[in-house]
Chain A
């Protein structure tokens, strides 16, 4: 493995044991991610892609192998690997602003003054176009708006790697498109390194520089890595008839539905 990789996942195994039964989820997963790269991890449900993300986040430990971020071993969660959770996981008793501020106040407690933290919080909320609803509680805003606040909270930590766990999975198709465009725009602006879990082929091709395709579990591994050499900024409508886009889409679909069909009825 190259030592200079920004984020390096090396020979990771993960097994869960419960009551003497060991269930191997991931088997020998290795992946190098460069700074500023947008990586999607795609696979059928139950293939352990969320487990992989949790390992990078430090929320789950590895059974074997190691994860390096900028040469340092990842063994606990931290704001340098901010997570956007699938179900937004905003705290329902706090307003949108307070949810972001909770992270900002903790992460920048020593490095920013109170006024600077407020300004920083507001800037993140404006970045996701949520300034108009900053004083509303999660129960009072739509699913897409909640996820935008979740993204703002993660971005506010200025993470080295942004981890997205099926961030648009729970949204309706129109909201999803809108948010995908917004994330693309933000990523172009801030040049974040992003690791995104998804099960949506179009989403993966549209957003990623590389698509990591996982085989079915148990003992899932990386089946194939596909580069998506499309120019940025990418325009959804123009890509519909783009050859590279169509080819990439076909490659992913083939992998998922021909070679690694989901056998169990989910």
Chain B
């Protein structure tokens, strides 16, 4: 007979509880959507935007202080801005020959990188699949890749100049040979690490070679492939600046070399800022594509 009594107690308890909660919840007012969004923007600024800006300001201040003394070798930031003001405000001028705005120099460099990198992507993924797929290809090719990949980009330049007898294809070749190694190696690792489960599934439903390649292999290795592509794009941007210093013509590397020859240290500093920002943007673009293509599994 004790059971019903217990139930009654329970019912009373549950009835009382929500009443108490309602009182508690009435006090805080729900924030409006606009306030919520403003709050989010503010949080983002506080965590992502403000810290690097503060550090940047401190660095500039430090630089300004140590380079402002008379007789210092490098110009302070204020000097850089006044010296290069013309270049900053008008990146699009073109007075013929090599006397162009920074936009044109960067564009020329980016075009070379685009061609060289595109070839590296195609060749790198293809070779990576081969090496990842076939044990004999790996045994034969991997040691050679491991040695060749340590050759510095610029060491290839004289050889490619000798082979192509022209600056443009030589620069593109240097981009290619610099960025292809991480793409090959990461693709091969990605292919080799495809879980047996996935290939078992493919075997049970009897996918043929081509279907296996497009439906299992490439998506499964995509996170690895994109790691290689990101490293590759960074390396190719590193290589182009160095290569252009030597081959001449329009390009951000040559611009820096030309500025050095005419002792425009401020121009060099401005160009370095541009090189850094463009390299960062290239990296973010590849990362963005990776995220879109792998639908977020790249990070998982």
Contact check, A93 vs B295: say whether CB atoms are below 8 A apart. Answer: yes
Interface residue B36 (Cβ < 8 Å from any Cβ of A): no
Nearest to B215 among chain A residues (CB) is: A102
Which residues in window 46-96 of A have CB below 8 A to B? 57-59, 76-79, 81-83, 85, 87, 89, 91-93
CA distance A93 to B220 in the complex (A): 8
Closest 6 pairs (CB-CB, A-B): A89-B197, A77-B203, A93-B219, A103-B205, A106-B205, A77-B204
Contact check, A81 vs B300: say whether CB atoms are below 8 A apart. Answer: no
CB<8 Å pairs between A and B, sample of 15: A57-B204, A58-B203, A59-B200, A59-B203, A83-B200, A83-B204, A85-B197, A87-B197, A89-B201, A93-B219, A93-B295, A93-B297, A102-B215, A106-B207, A139-B297
- Among B205, B215, B300, max chain A CB count under 10 A is at B205
Q: How far is the CB of A220 from chain B (nearest CB, A)?
A: 22
CA distance A170 to B85 in the complex (A): 65
What DSSP secondary structure best describes chain A's contact surface? Answer: loop
* Cβ 8 A contact of B204, one of A78, A87, A93: A78
CA distance A76 to B204 in the complex (A): 9
Interface residue B280 (Cβ < 8 Å from any Cβ of A): no
Interface residue B206 (Cβ < 8 Å from any Cβ of A): yes
Interface residue A230 (Cβ < 8 Å from any Cβ of B): no
> Chain B residues near A92 (CB, 8 Å)?
297, 300
**New A-B pairs, 5, CB < 8 Å, besides A85-B197, A137-B295:** A89-B197, A93-B219, A93-B220, A107-B206, A157-B205
Nearest to B218 among chain A residues (CB) is: A93
B residues near A (Cβ < 8 Å) are 195, 197-198, 200-201, 203-207, 211, 215-216, 219-220, 222, 294-295, 297, 300
Nearest to A138 among chain B residues (CB) is: B297
Nearest to B293 among chain A residues (CB) is: A93
Contact check, B206 vs A78: say whether CB atoms are below 8 A apart. Answer: yes
> Chain A residues near B207 (CB, 8 Å)?
106
Q: How far is the CB of B292 from chain A (nearest CB, A)?
A: 12
> Chain A residues near B206 (CB, 8 Å)?
77-79, 106-107
CA distance A13 to B222 in the complex (A): 39
Contact check, B300 vs A79: say whether CB atoms are below 8 A apart. Answer: no
> Chain B residues near A106 (CB, 8 Å)?
205-207, 211
> Chain B residues near A137 (CB, 8 Å)?
295
Number of cross-chain contacts by CB at 8 Å = 55
> Chain B residues near A83 (CB, 8 Å)?
200, 204
Contact check, A93 vs B222: say whether CB atoms are below 8 A apart. Answer: yes
A residues near B (Cβ < 8 Å) are 57-59, 76-79, 81-83, 85, 87, 89, 91-93, 102-103, 106-107, 137, 139, 157
Contact check, B200 vs A85: say whether CB atoms are below 8 A apart. Answer: yes
CA distance A91 to B205 in the complex (A): 13
CA distance A93 to B297 in the complex (A): 7
Q: How far is the CB of A41 from chain B (nearest CB, A)?
A: 18
Nearest to B204 among chain A residues (CB) is: A77
Contact check, B219 vs A102: say whether CB atoms are below 8 A apart. Answer: no
Contact check, A89 vs B205: say whether CB atoms are below 8 A apart. Answer: no
Contact check, B219 vs A89: say whether CB atoms are below 8 A apart. Answer: no
Q: How far is the CB of A201 from chain B (nearest CB, A)?
A: 27
Q: How far is the CB of B300 from chain A (nearest CB, A)?
A: 6
Q: How far is the CB of A108 from chain B (nearest CB, A)?
A: 11
CA distance A92 to B296 in the complex (A): 10
Q: How far is the CB of B210 from chain A (nearest CB, A)?
A: 12
Nearest to B203 among chain A residues (CB) is: A77
Nearest to B207 among chain A residues (CB) is: A106
* Cβ 8 A contact of A81, one of B198, B204, B215, B216: B204
Q: How far is the CB of A152 from chain B (nearest CB, A)?
A: 13
> Chain A residues near B198 (CB, 8 Å)?
89, 91
With A89-B198, A92-B300 known as contacts, the answer to whether A79 contacts B205 (CB < 8 A) is yes
> Chain B residues near A87 (CB, 8 Å)?
197
Q: How far is the CB of B291 from chain A (nearest CB, A)?
A: 13
Q: How far is the CB of B132 from chain A (nearest CB, A)?
A: 18
* Cβ 8 A contact of B195, one of A58, A89, A107: A89
CA distance A82 to B300 in the complex (A): 28
> Chain B residues near A79 (CB, 8 Å)?
204-206
- Among A76, A81, A92, max chain B CB count under 10 A is at A92
> Chain A residues near B297 (CB, 8 Å)?
92-93, 139
Contact check, B200 vs A89: say whether CB atoms are below 8 A apart. Answer: yes
> Chain B residues near A91 (CB, 8 Å)?
198, 201, 216, 219-220
Q: How far is the CB of B217 from chain A (nearest CB, A)?
A: 11
CA distance A103 to B205 in the complex (A): 6
> Chain A residues near B203 (CB, 8 Å)?
58-59, 76-77
CA distance A85 to B200 in the complex (A): 9
> Chain A residues near B195 (CB, 8 Å)?
89
